[in-house]
Amino acid sequence: MAEPWLGLYLPEDFYSAPRRAREYHSSWDKRIHVLSFYIAWGSGKEGPDLAGIHRVIESGFVPMITWEPWHPQKWPADERPVEQPEFSLSSILNGRYEDYIRSWARELKKVKSPIFFRPMHEMNGNWYPWCEKVNGNKPGEYAETWRYIRSIFREAQNDGLVWVWSPYAQSVPDEPDNEMDQFYPGNKEVDWMGLDGYNWGKSREWSEWRSFGDIFENGYNQLMQLAPDKSCMIAEIGCAEAGGSKGSWIEAAFEVLRKRFLNVNGLVWFNIDKECDWRIESSRESETSFKKSWRRY
């Protein structure tokens, strides 16, 4: 993927996402390279859906699997979703999920095409149970857990994955011991750098309209200090409609990407109507601007 590439997260499974992506390709007349999927350890599935992954690859896309140690929708109503002691970093390090991890390592070894593999993303955000600020986790455990997981894949002689380390663009809480560099497992453990960020606009009481540069520049600079020679992606991005012109925001974002984010080789748009309508096609103006800007990128 020498040219800048585009990825999409679609609210679809391995089997229906390629069809949806081809529809976008036909509409935009521009290739989509990567399809993004989220797999929770607490989903009840013991191993990867190899048939589904192969369907994505055979359809001409590179899968990106975000691998999440938690129950995303299983907790009592009076508890925070991040407080899941069964998925604390110490539980992982103590071997509670070693058989599960080893199963994934063995099974994914059967896939002979590249897969972007993104475990425990946004670790500097206090909304996931693998953040060191929640769930009884301790300083240093995140990087240790990453190295532990990757060591199991190495033991299985699985060297075909592209490991993506992907913090959020701003640390929450914004405290020295929650900065990105506190969680970096080392250059030998990471293949690509990723960065997630969103323009929430005025969709929430606490949010405001922010440019692409405002959201990503500081985080990108931190990544480049950690590993200036590594390829980088915007692994999640979206823009709300409330508070400004989403079309203008998209056009400006691609200009800034082209001029100032020189190590970014692609981006994955979070194309879903969820907390906000993040979708590229949330309005005619947004989609028109995206088509024009993406073709020039």
Give Cα 281 to chain centroid, integer Å. Answer: 21
Phi, psi of 244 (to 5 degrees): 180, -170
Which tens digit of pLDDT belongs to each residue from 79-136?
A: 677 899 999 999 999 999 999 999 999 999 999 999 999 999 999 999 999 999 999 9
Contacts of 150-159 with C-beta under 8 Å, sequence gap 24+, read: 150/185, 150/189, 152/98, 152/101, 152/102, 152/105, 153/101, 153/105, 155/102, 155/105, 156/102, 156/105, 156/106, 156/109, 157/109, 158/105, 158/106, 158/108, 158/109
Which tens digit of pLDDT belongs to each residue from 8-26?
A: 999 999 999 999 999 998 8
Q: Rounded mean pLDDT of the chain? A: 95
Q: Report the CATH number at residue 90.
A: 3.20.20.80
Q: CA dist 84 to 10, 79, 250, 256, 260, Å? A: 27, 9, 37, 39, 39
Q: What is the pTM of this model?
A: 0.96
Give Cα 235 to chain centroid, integer Å. Answer: 4
Which residue range forms the structural domain that includes residue 291?
Answer: 5-296
pLDDT, residue 2, reads: 60
pLDDT, residue 4, reads: 86
Residues 6+ apart with CB under 8 A from 282: 241, 246, 273
| Number of independent structural domains in the chain | 1
